[in-house]
Structure 1
Amino acid sequence: MKIPHSRIKHFLFLFVLLINSVSLFAANEFKTKIDSSKAKTVSFKIKLKSDNKVKIKSAPLKFNKHFAYSFTLDDGYRSAYLTAFPLLNGGKISNPDKNEWKIDQGGDGTTSKGLFYSDGFGNKIPFKLALAVNGGAVRDLPANRGHLSWSEIKEMYNAGWDILNHGFHHATKHGTNYLTEVTENTASIKQNLGFTMSHFVVPGGEGDPDYHHEYEKEALANGAFSVASYTGVGPVFKVDSKVDLDKMISARTFVQSSKDSTSFKTMDRYLKTVDSIVKQSDPVWFNEFTHGTGNGNLWNLSMRFPDFKYYMTTLADKYGVKGSDTIWMAPWQEVYEYIWLRDRIKVDYKQKNKEVEVTIELPEIPETFKHRDISLVIDTSSKFEIESSKDLKIKDDGKTTHKQILIQLK
């Protein structure tokens, strides 16, 4: 495993990336398998209570949040299910539990009510992460196994967590067949879980110089829309205008516990980095990673559960429903797919007195997309109601804050 930079370098690196980041304009379309359905349009009507002029545009981020924060757990360790999932989604957190490697991958045994942000329509949504998994390591036995089972991954996937390709065997050493690692893992997840992964995370470890470039090449040539690697763009993206997502290779940074820390000072430094990013005036998307989240600092590349709990709870208290409610805590794939779709739709509207007819031209959407929602920002002082066809699911806050509309595509 590649050891990340020191905490100070981590903070400076991310801060400089943010200050110097520029919005990239999409120039090329993805060369990927597309849904058989052609590009189409959807439309609906807005009934206003007054005839004041309105303005409508797509929101930079879903639910018109100020920042998206994506967090990924590498390697598919079982601590994700024992501790991280119940903490965020709500449920019983595992008691201390030593795995087959004699490392405690359990938690504190408490029951969590979940960590949430709101959708702006009166609903709470639990924090969700992504799992970068190796299909070759997934199994049901032994009882104290260190990796996840298929049923555990499926449960988290069904709860909205995204599953990312991390290679079938996590192979990195000399002689690795990078093509096989990518494609066998895709086939394994498809066979056992019934969906096709579309984003890749380069495994860390000892290997030939620049081996990660081989993974990047094979992943992008075989169905991956993006790759998280050692170097690349980001991990902070300004999203107030079009973003170049075509064959994206993103830099990967880690949050991890200190080897001998007994306080939360290390986590506070990471949280300070997040805070510096959030304070920027423009909406942003920020990505980070770790490995295990159990009581033991797995391979010294993980977050001990007390640190993980403190870190995520602080984010929820500060930016979730209990705080500013400005966070969209969503996995890499979900945010990526929202921005991809946002940058390719065309929103048109015509107002006549108290009625506004909205038409949205949609692109052909890749069949591997899991998330297909569009958030619109509506600038009006008037309350409103939506009149739409039966095949279009729409949420709005027209009777309360009358600021946004959510279109959920099938």
Structure 2
Amino acid sequence: MKTTLLYIFLFFGIHSFAFAENHSFGNPPKTITFKIKLKSAGKVKITPSVLKYNKHFAYSFTLDDGYRSAYLTAFPLLKGGKVSPPSIDEWKVDQGGDGTTSKGLFYTDGFGNKIPFKLALAINGASLINEPSNRGHLSWEEVREMYNAGWDVLNHSFHHATKHGTNYLTEVTDNTKSIKENLDFTMSHFVVPGGEGDPDYHREYEKEALKSEYFSVASYKGEGPVYKINSKVNLDKLISARTFVQSSKDTSSFKTMDKYLKTIDSIVKQKDPVWFNEFTHGTGNTNLWNLSMRFPDFKYYMTTLANKYGANGNDSLWMAPWQEVYEYIWLRDRIKVDFEQIDKEVAVTIQIPEIPETFRNKSISLSVDSSSKFEIESKNSDFTIKSDGNKTHKLIVVEIK
């Protein structure tokens, strides 16, 4: 209950300011246009959706330290596939799961298409190895596969160094270089590694990451972890509070997981859309370093979310990693949407700002208030567009190329 009250308090403590444009940009401004052809007359209103696909709740979940259980258990559980059976690693820890075949956990895009739950990986480049076969950390190819499936990869420092004498700048930049050289992309969000260190060492990591043009830092203290996002959000050098979901010593029931889920229930019940961000470490059968979720707990937790708020429930959940949600809100707050209606035809113009070159996601959802069914007419090759104009006629999704 104390945790719930803390989250609710933080929920109302978020302020909204403009983002300082101090990053590298690679996508020039552009203007895109299309027409809406209404089936019947009636006033239409078009606004940017607070969250992608008009969802009510964005939930971002990150796995710290790049442990192999992410690939063996979490990845196949969420996307669908064979979950690893028990798998003992080099540390004599079981990073496997129950060996079952998962059908996947999904939400929908508002058009009937299922999208698998996706998480983020906070990784240390120095830990990614291919041998031994019972290694405890992920390999480069495993991270590549998960990244290509839409999981985000966040900078967690190169060596996970925290002790006295750490060179915080090189820990940030060496990890950036390592991922760029091996996986050919540039990370844009940083997660402070936990551990034994000098007082307030996390502030040194925060300073160096932001100075190195990282958009946000997850740290010990900061804003959130619940964000009220129905108005402009302060994303300028964002430092977010990091909270964890962890298994307890009780293995006889899911009472501990139910407490975490109760907190989510209380957040989702808020009137306005929200973004919530949480972490854990491993997701194998062993509670790794007592800072992780045992696989049965992780499976129960994620499956419950899917059944309540995903495709099998009320479908109000956007289960997307930190970078994906951040980039949507950043772009949402900077576009300008204009429309002009003449009888049954609506001309829509969207002004797109210059977009940072490290962005993976350039998508905008539009909420449509119309009593009429409609069709989209577009001849522009700079974007793709989908709508539910022939069904609930409430949603348009624009993917910018």
Same fold (TM over 0.5): yes
The question of whether the paired residues in 1 share the 8 Å contact of 2:88 and 2:96 is answered with: yes
1:400 has 2:391 as partner: yes
Give the one of 121, 137, 142 matched to 1:147.
Answer: 137
Residues of 2 paired with 1:261 and 1:12: CA distance?
A: 26
1:331 has 2:324 as partner: no
1:291 CA displacement? 0.1
1:17 has 2:7 as partner: no
Q: What code does the residue aligned with 1:407 have?
A: V
Residues of 1 paired with 2:180 and 2:229: CA distance?
A: 32
| 1:157-306 equivalence runs, <5 A | 157-306=147-296
The CA deviation string for residues 263-312 of structure 1, in whole angstroms up to 9 with x for no partner, is 10000000000000000000000000000000000000000000000000
1:390 CA displacement? 4.2
1:15 CA displacement? 2.6
The CA deviation string for residues 204-231 of structure 1, in whole angstroms up to 9 with x for no partner, is 0000000000000000010210000000
Residues of 2 paired with 1:166 and 1:201: CA distance?
A: 5
RMSD in angstroms over aligned alpha carbons?
0.9
Residues of 2 paired with 1:73 and 1:28: CA distance?
A: 27
Residues of 2 paired with 1:114 and 1:30: CA distance?
A: 39
TM-score, with length taken from structure 1: 0.96
Residues of 1 paired with 2:386 and 2:18: CA distance?
A: 32
Give the one of 97, 122, 126 matched to 2:112.
Answer: 122
SS in 2 for 1:270: helix
Residues of 2 paired with 1:136 and 1:262: CA distance?
A: 37
Residues of 2 paired with 1:390 and 1:346: CA distance?
A: 18
The question of whether the paired residues in 2 share the 8 Å contact of 1:139 and 1:150 is answered with: yes
Give the one of 19, 27, 49 matched to 2:18.
Answer: 27
1:39 CA displacement? 1.3
Q: 2:339 aligns to what?
A: 349
SS in 2 for 1:160: coil
Residues of 2 paired with 1:21 and 1:51: CA distance?
A: 43
1:13 CA displacement? 1.8
1:45 CA displacement? 0.5
Residues of 1 paired with 2:21 and 2:279: CA distance?
A: 26
The question of whether the paired residues in 1 share the 8 Å contact of 2:129 and 2:139 is answered with: yes
TM-score, with length taken from structure 2: 0.98
1:120 CA displacement? 0.5
The CA deviation string for residues 160-212 of structure 1, in whole angstroms up to 9 with x for no partner, is 10000000000000000000000000000001101000000000000000000
The CA deviation string for residues 68-87 of structure 1, in whole angstroms up to 9 with x for no partner, is 00000000000000000000
1:116 CA displacement? 0.3
Residues of 2 paired with 1:349 and 1:301: CA distance?
A: 51
SS in 1 for 2:60: strand
Q: What code does the residue aligned with 1:259 have?
A: K
SS in 1 for 2:16: coil
The question of whether the paired residues in 2 share the 8 Å contact of 1:291 and 1:298 is answered with: yes
The question of whether the paired residues in 2 share the 8 Å contact of 1:15 and 1:273 is answered with: no
Q: What code does the residue aligned with 1:149 have?
A: S
Q: 1:43 aligns to what?
A: 33
The question of whether the paired residues in 1 share the 8 Å contact of 2:65 and 2:156 is answered with: yes
Residues of 2 paired with 1:70 and 1:192: CA distance?
A: 25
The question of whether the paired residues in 1 share the 8 Å contact of 2:18 and 2:232 is answered with: no
The CA deviation string for residues 126-151 of structure 1, in whole angstroms up to 9 with x for no partner, is 00000000000000000000000011
Q: How many residues align?
A: 400
Superposition misfits of 4+ residues, deviation over 2 angstroms: 8-12, 24-30, 259-262
Residues of 2 paired with 1:215 and 1:358: CA distance?
A: 44
> Percent identity between the aligned chains?
73
1:12 CA displacement? 2.9
The CA deviation string for residues 60-99 of structure 1, in whole angstroms up to 9 with x for no partner, is 0000100100000000000000000000000000000010
Q: 2:53 aligns to what?
A: 63
The question of whether the paired residues in 1 share the 8 Å contact of 2:331 and 2:364 is answered with: yes
Unaligned runs of 5+ in 2: none
The CA deviation string for residues 372-410 of structure 1, in whole angstroms up to 9 with x for no partner, is 100000000101011112412001000111000000011
SS in 1 for 2:314: coil
Unaligned runs of 5+ in 1: 1-7
SS in 2 for 1:402: coil
Q: What code does the residue aligned with 1:364 have?
A: E
1:17 CA displacement? 1.7
Q: What code does the residue aligned with 1:11 have?
A: T
1:30 CA displacement? 2.6
1:29 CA displacement? 2.3
Give the one of 365, 369, 381 matched to 2:371.
Answer: 381
Q: What code does the residue aligned with 2:24 have?
A: K
Residues of 2 paired with 1:267 and 1:15: CA distance?
A: 19
